[in-house]
Structure 1
Amino acid sequence: MSKRTIQQLPYEHDELFKGEISRMIPYHRMYGKSYCVPALTVYQDSELAELQAASEAVHRIYRKVQQFIQRYMPDEYLVERLGIHPGLLRAVRMEAAPDGITRQDWIVGEAGIKCIENNTDTPTGIPEVAYLEGKLLEALRSEGMSEDDIALYGPSSGMDEAIQSALTELIHFYSRKGLGTKVYFTCYDWHVEDQTNTKYIMHLCEQAGFEVVYAPLEELEIIPTEGLYHRGEQIHILYRLYPLEYLIEDREEDTGLEVGQALMDMVADGKIGLINPPQHIITQSKGFTATVWSLYERNEQTPAFCGFRLFDDRELEVIRTYLLPTYFEPSVFMQNKEPYVAKGIWGREGKGTHLIEHPESEERLECVSGVAQNAKADQPDLLHQADAPLTPEQEEAAHIAAYYEEQPKIYQRLWPMQSAEVQTEEGLFHGYVLTGIFVIGGRFAGVLPRIGEKVTGDMAYYCAAAVANEPSNPPAV
Structure 2
Amino acid sequence: MNTTENYQVKRKAFYSQFTNFFYDIEDLEYAIYDVMPIAKEQIEEIKYASNILWKIFTKVSKQFKKLNKEQLISLGIREEMIPFIDLDYLTQQSVLARFDFILSKSGELKAIELNGDTPFLIQETFEMNRHLCKEFGFKNPNDDKIVMKSLSAALFASLEYLKEKKSQPVIVITGKEEEEDYEEYCHVQFIKRNLPFEVKYVPISELRIINESNEHIQKGLYTPDKQKIDVLYRPAHPIEFLIDDVSNDGDPIGIQLLELIKERELAIINSPAAYILQNKILMALIWAKKDDPLLYSPEEIQAINRYMLPTYLSEDVFITNKQPYVKKPVYSREGNTVEIYKENGSKWYESSYTHYTDNLYVYQQYIEMPSIEIPLKEEVAEKKWLIGSFIADNEACGLSCRLGNAVTEWDSHWAAIGYK
TM-score (norm. length: structure 2):
0.91
Alignment of 1:34-183 (within 5 A): 34-70=29-65, 72-81=66-75, 83-99=76-92, 100-109=95-104, 110-140=106-136, 150=137, 152-156=138-142, 158-159=143-144, 161-178=145-162, 182-183=170-171
Report the equivalent of 1:376: none
**One-letter amino acid of the counterpart of residue 193, structure 1:** E
* Among candidates 351, 365, 371, match of residue 336 of structure 2: 351
Contact 2:111 2:307 in 1 (8 A): yes
Q: Which has the higher helix share?
A: 1
Q: Quick check: 1:192 aligned with 2:185?
A: no
Contact 1:163 1:204 in 2 (8 A): no
Q: Give the total of aligned pairs.
A: 400
Report the equivalent of 1:306: none
**One-letter amino acid of the counterpart of residue 108, structure 2:** G
Report the equivalent of 1:431: 383
Determine the C-alpha separation between the residues in 2 that align with 1:44 and 1:111: 11
* Among candidates 338, 348, 354, match of residue 364 of structure 1: 348
3-state DSSP of counterpart to 1:234: coil
Q: For each residue in 1:363-401, what CA deviation from the matched residue of structure 2 results, as whole angstroms up to 9, or x when unmatched?
A: 321121xxx5xxxxxxxxxxxxxxxxxxxxxxxxxxxx2
* Among candidates 4, 12, 22, match of residue 14 of structure 1: 12
Q: For each residue in 1:137-178, what CA deviation from the matched residue of structure 2 results, as whole angstroms up to 9, or x when unmatched?
A: 2322xxxxxxxxx4x21111x12x112100111111122224
3-state DSSP of counterpart to 2:264: coil
Report the equivalent of 2:215: none
* Among candidates 218, 221, 231, match of residue 237 of structure 1: 231
Contact 1:327 1:411 in 2 (8 A): yes
Determine the C-alpha separation between the residues in 1 that align with 2:3 and 2:266: 47
Contact 2:170 2:227 in 1 (8 A): no
* Among candidates 162, 186, 194, match of residue 204 of structure 1: 194
Contact 2:25 2:183 in 1 (8 A): no
Q: Percent identity?
A: 25
Contact 1:101 1:439 in 2 (8 A): yes
RMSD: 1.7
Alignment of 1:354-393 (within 5 A): 354-358=339-343, 360-368=344-352
Determine the C-alpha separation between the residues in 2 that align with 1:17 and 1:425: 15
Q: For each residue in 1:391-422, what CA deviation from the matched residue of structure 2 results, as whole angstroms up to 9, or x when unmatched?
A: xxxxxxxxxx2x32332211001122111111
* Residue segments in structure 1 that go unaligned for 5+ positions in a row: 1-5, 141-149, 301-308, 373-400, 469-477
* Residue segments in structure 2 that go unaligned for 5+ positions in a row: 213-218
Alignment of 1:305-454 (within 5 A): 309-358=294-343, 360-368=344-352, 401=354, 403-454=355-406
Report the equivalent of 1:267: 261
**One-letter amino acid of the counterpart of residue 311, structure 2:** T
Q: Quick check: 1:223 aligned with 2:206?
A: no
Report the equivalent of 2:272: 278
3-state DSSP of counterpart to 2:418: strand
Determine the C-alpha separation between the residues in 2 that align with 1:419 and 1:218: 40
